[in-house]
């Protein structure tokens, strides 16, 4: 029988994000075998467990590990902030991002995923939903393991057009998906999802079978839809109805589906997504970076206020660029303020809920992650209240975290009971060695894709 591995975490304040949203002062958390075993007042818990290693201290605010519900782990990251912001979003994706993806080797995939997840971990993100545009899932799984965070993993899934790794038949695509489910079957922290590219790049037959595959395997399905108006136009032309209504006709909506974006929704589509409990991953920085109309036509605050299942994401290295869910949460809080929806709860509260427990619910994993509660994964972010951003300290840590401090002060991060970041350093890898040739990799990828980014101003 294996011996239980336990440690203690202590903090000045814990934002539990449990059902009652309890805030515990002078708190301690006992962690056993990667899970939260006890939580309560420090004095009591220390008395019973005086022999255990202690992490944290009096100067820490502890929050649950953050959730990023839509993130491309490969492709854009190695050419981050290279794609011009003066072209259309479709040009950015199809003329730049896709050719770069196509040029990725298996090693590029591992380095890219490791790089994204290192930044994620440093920014307090302990669970990432990979967006599905992965050529070498085994390499990306290695990236998760290099850093020690959890997440979901997919693979390229499309059967319309001839993009990289597109399937000639529906079965071609489904076999790639099944391979990922098999690869992650026994994994302790990474779950295989069924992932399609989405938009209008999937046949009805593929969509129906992918949805069935996800349900049969007790997992989720995710794909992109309606970040701009072009999906609406193409669905209307092909099917006679708007995208969400077509998905409803196909019978693929439901709790197992996470749609990335769904920015452009009419009343009937909004209502349909709420009624079917279909979730949305909202990536507000991407919509602004790509100019997709979120401030004019986006309805995510309304969707959330009416009980819609919503989560937040950071998208890609040229669509929001940073992997920082607290930055997305702050921007979303601003969109809530602008939306002037009656009865909407505090913007900062909603924003933190979306980055934690509500995000976990939207991806179907609220029994595992999203709050600091007994039985859940010990995914905990340690925020140093001695950091200048936290001085002086507001009586309301939620407002200060969302509107002001953001990631400033994130000192350490625990995932599944293991310290994976301490003082901003990822402990499981030698980053200097792992990331020693990023510039060369970028040059090679751009060269192979025939792309030449340059500064706008004359350089002498
Ligand atoms: Zn995406």
Q: Would you kindly state where each structural domain of the chain is located, as residue ranges?
A: 6-65+369-426, 66-362
Q: How confident is the model at residue 382 (pLDDT cuts 50, 70, 90)?
A: very high
The residues whose Cβ lies within 5 A of ligand 1, an ion, are: 131
Distance from residue 132's CA to the centre of ligand 1 (Å): 8
Q: Quote the CA–CA distance of 338 and 91 in Å, as a whole number.
A: 29
In the reported structure, the alpha carbon of residue 316 is separated from the centroid of ligand 1 by a whole-number distance in angstroms of 7
Quote the pLDDT of residue 277. 98
**Distance in Å, CA 259 to ligand 1 centroid:** 10
Lowest mean pLDDT among 134-138, 163-167, 406-410: 163-167
Ligand 1 centre distance from Cα of residue 286 (Å) = 9
Structure tokens at 17: 């994000």
Expressed in angstroms and rounded, the spacing between residue 390 Cα and the centre of ligand 1 is 33
Q: What's the CA gap between 163 and 181, in Å, rounded?
A: 23
* Spacing, Cα 188 to ligand 1 middle (Å): 25
Q: What is the pLDDT of residues 190-210, one digit of tens each?
A: 999 999 999 999 999 999 999
pLDDT (0 to 100) of residue 344: 79
Angle at 115 between CA 113 and CA 119, to 5 degrees: 115
| Cα–ligand 1 centroid distance for 170 (angstroms) | 22
- Segment 141-155 shows an average pLDDT of 98
Q: pLDDT tens digits, residue range 268-323?
A: 999 999 999 999 999 999 999 999 999 999 999 999 999 999 999 999 999 999 99
341 Cβ contact partners less than 8 Å away, ≥ 6 residues apart: 301, 302, 305
| pTM of structure | 0.97
What is the band of 1 on the pLDDT scale with cuts at 50, 70, 90? very low
**According to the model, what pLDDT value does residue 340 have?**
83
CATH label, 66-362, candidates 3.40.50.1100, 3.40.50.80, 3.40.640.10, 3.20.20.140:
3.20.20.140
Q: Which helix (H) or strand (E) holds 384?
A: strand 380-384
Task: Give 3's pLDDT tier (boundaries 50, 70, 90).
Answer: low
Percent of the chain at pLDDT exceeding 70: 99
377 DSSP 8-state letter: B
- 30 C-alpha vs ligand 1 centroid, how far in Å? 37
Look over the chain and give the mean of its residue pLDDT values, rounded to a whole number. 96
The CA-based angle 188-123-326, given to 5 degrees, is: 110
Pairing of strands 221-225, 194-198: parallel
pLDDT at 412 exceeding the cut of 90: yes
Judge contact between 292 and 327, C-beta under 8 A.
no
For ligand 1, the distance from its centroid to the CA atom of residue 283, given in whole angstroms, is 9
Identify the helix (H) or strand (E) that includes residue 9. strand 6-15
Structure tokens at 436: 């020693």
Count CB neighbours of 64 within 10 A. Answer: 31
Determine the longest span between alpha carbons in the chain, in angstroms.
68
pLDDT value of residue 189: 97
Are 173 and 161 a contacting pair, CB within 8 Å? no
Give the distance (Å) from ligand 1 centre to CA of residue 2.
41
The rounded Å distance from CA 223 to ligand 1 centre is 8
Distances (CA, A) of 48 to 14, 58, 125, 215: 20, 19, 31, 44
Q: What does the alpha-carbon distance between residue 85 and residue 286 come to, in Å, rounded to a whole number?
A: 11
Residue 336: pLDDT band by 50, 70, 90 thresholds?
A: very high
Would you list the DSSP string of 157-216? ---SS--TT--SSHHHHHHHHHHHHHHTTT-SSEEE-EEEEETT-S-HHHHHHHHHHHHH
Length of the chain, in residues = 460
Helix, strand or coil for residue 419?
A: strand
Is the CATH number 3.20.20.140 carried by domain 6-65+369-426? Answer: no
In the reported structure, the alpha carbon of residue 5 is separated from the centroid of ligand 1 by a whole-number distance in angstroms of 38
The residue whose two tokens read 């079965």 is 171
Helix (H, G, I), strand (E, B) or coil at 425: strand
With H, G, I as helix, E, B as strand and everything else as coil, classify residue 401. Answer: helix
pLDDT band at residue 251 using 50, 70 and 90 as cut-offs: very high
Residues whose CB is less than 8 angstroms from the CB of residue 104 and which lie 6 or more positions away in sequence, other chains included: 74, 75, 78, 112, 135, 136, 445
Q: How far apart are the first and last CA of the chain?
A: 68
Inter-residue contact 235 to 243 (CB < 8 Å):
yes
Q: Cα–Cα distances in Å, from 390 out to 121, 376, 405? A: 20, 28, 7
Q: What is the mean pLDDT of residues 435-449?
A: 98
């Amino acid at each position: 029988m294996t011996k239980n591995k336990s440690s203690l975490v202590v903090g000045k304040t814990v934002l539990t994000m449990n059902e009652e949203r309890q805030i515990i002062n002078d708190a301690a958390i006992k962690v056993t075998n990667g899970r939260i075993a006890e939580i309560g007042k420090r004095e009591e818990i220390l008395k019973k467990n005086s022999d255990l290693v202690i992490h944290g201290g009096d100067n820490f605010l502890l929050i649950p590990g953050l959730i990023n519900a839509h993130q491309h782990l490969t492709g854009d990251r190695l050419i981050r902030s290279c794609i011009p912001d003066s072209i259309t979003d479709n040009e950015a994706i199809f003329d730049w991002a896709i050719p770069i993806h196509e040029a990725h080797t298996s090693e590029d995939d591992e380095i890219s995923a490791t790089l994204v997840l290192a930044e994620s971990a440093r920014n307090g993100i302990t669970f990432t939903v990979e967006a599905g545009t992965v050529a070498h899932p085994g390499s990306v799984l290695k990236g998760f393991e290099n850093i020690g965070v959890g997440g979901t993993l997919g693979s390229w899934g499309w059967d319309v057009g001839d993009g990289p790794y597109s399937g000639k038949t529906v079965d071609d695509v489904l076999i790639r998906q099944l391979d990922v489910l098999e690869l992650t079957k026994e994994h302790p922290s990474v779950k295989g999802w069924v992932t399609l590219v989405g938009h209008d790049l999937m046949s009805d037959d593929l969509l129906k079978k992918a949805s069935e595959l996800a349900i049969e395997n007790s997992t989720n399905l995710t794909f992109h839809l309606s970040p701009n108006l072009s999906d609406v136009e193409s669905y209307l032309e092909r099917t006679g109805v708007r995208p969400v209504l077509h998905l409803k006709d196909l019978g693929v909506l439901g709790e197992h589906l996470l749609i990335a974006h769904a920015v452009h929704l009419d009343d009937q589509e909004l209502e349909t997504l709420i009624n079917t409990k279909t979730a949305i991953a909202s990536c507000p920085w991407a919509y602004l970076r790509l100019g997709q109309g979120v401030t004019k036509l986006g309805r995510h605050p309304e969707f959330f206020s009416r009980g819609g299942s919503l989560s937040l994401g950071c998208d890609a290295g040229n669509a929001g660029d940073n992997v920082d869910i607290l930055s997305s949460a702050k921007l979303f809080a601003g969109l809530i303020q602008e939306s002037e929806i009656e009865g909407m709860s505090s913007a900062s509260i909603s924003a933190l809920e979306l980055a934690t427990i509500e995000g976990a619910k939207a991806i179907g994993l609220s029994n595992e992650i999203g709050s600091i509660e007994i039985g859940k994964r010990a995914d905990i972010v340690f925020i140093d209240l001695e950091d200048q951003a936290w001085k002086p300290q507001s009586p309301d840590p939620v407002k200060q975290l969302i509107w002001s401090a953001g990631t400033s002060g994130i000192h350490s991060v625990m995932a599944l009971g293991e310290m994976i970041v301490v003082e901003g350093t990822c402990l499981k890898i030698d980053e200097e060695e792992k990331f020693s040739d990023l510039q060369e990799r970028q040059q090679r990828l751009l060269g192979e894709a025939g792309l030449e980014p340059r500064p706008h101003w004359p350089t002498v």
